[in-house]
Amino acid sequence: MLELIKEPWPWYIAGPLIGLTVPVLLILGNKSFGISSSLRHICAACIPADISFFKYDWKKEWWNLFFVFGIFLGGIIASHFLINTGEISVNPKLKTELATYGITDFSNLIPVQLMNFASLLTWRGFITMVVGGFLVGFGTRYAGGCTSGHAIMGLSNLQWPSLVATVCFMAGGFLMANVILPIILSL
């Protein structure tokens, strides 16, 4: 049974399980699924500054912080006890393409040659980690939520802004993966 948990689950099982969080949250307390709002709640709780964006009753959103803490704790448990020691399965064509950029180690979920502390001192590492992280955070705030909030919760509720945001997320992802990332990786 433990081996079943260690293996990646197919989309037709994992997808519906993720999707079922929407009705569960709505039925249990009329709550919306989303992760990015938890950062706002943490800042509202911890930053004593007089910033209007953080002036609200964050204590009403404790469930969201608990939910995110559960995801964090689950990640720690999975990384220590449920890790799959085999090499990550990557399409052979993608392996060949990534090898041209010097990425050959697929022992982790994220390529070691790309994401490590030493690579922060290179243009490629700085752009992918720091600039990319800033752009993800900015885009999440600008769109009024993250991909999980819009694509899972917003589309389930037939919200037009979530459809627009999800289409933009997908278009940006395709553009990044096929046009911009090869330029960054060749630096």
d(CA 15, CA 152): 10
Q: Residue 39: pLDDT above 80? A: yes
- As a whole number, mean pLDDT of residues 31-52 equals 82
pLDDT for residue 1 is more than 70 = no
Cα 141 from chain centre:
14
CA dist., res. 8 & res. 131, Å (int): 30
- For residues 84 and 71, the model is more confident at 71
The rounded mean pLDDT for the chain is 86
The C-alpha atoms of residue 114 and residue 138 are separated, in whole angstroms, by 22
Label residues 154-185 b or e (16+ Cβ within 10 Å = b). bebeeeeebeebbeebeeeeeeeeeeeeeebb
**Minimum mean pLDDT range among 24-33, 79-88, 130-139:** 79-88
- pLDDT mean over 61-66: 86
- CA-nearest of 127, 115, 119 to 180 is 127
* Between 37 and 181, residue with greater pLDDT: 181
For 17-71, give the DSSP string: HHHTHHHHHHHHHS----STHHHHHHHHHH--S--GGG-S-GGGGHHHHHHHHHH
| Domain range annotation of the chain | 1-83, 114-187
46: pLDDT strictly greater than 90: no
Write the pLDDT tens digit of every residue in 104-144.
888 777 888 888 888 888 888 899 889 999 998 888 888 88
At residue 79, does pLDDT exceed 70?
yes
pLDDT at 172: 92
How many Å separate Cα 186 from the centre of its chain?
A: 25
> Is the pLDDT higher at 158 or at 85?
158
Contact 65, 42 (CB under 8 A): yes
pLDDT digits (tens, 9 = 90+) for 145-167: 888 888 888 888 889 999 999 99
Portion of the chain with pLDDT greater than 90, in percent: 24
What is the pLDDT, as a whole number, of residue 96? Answer: 93
Predicted local distance difference test score (pLDDT) of residue 44: 86
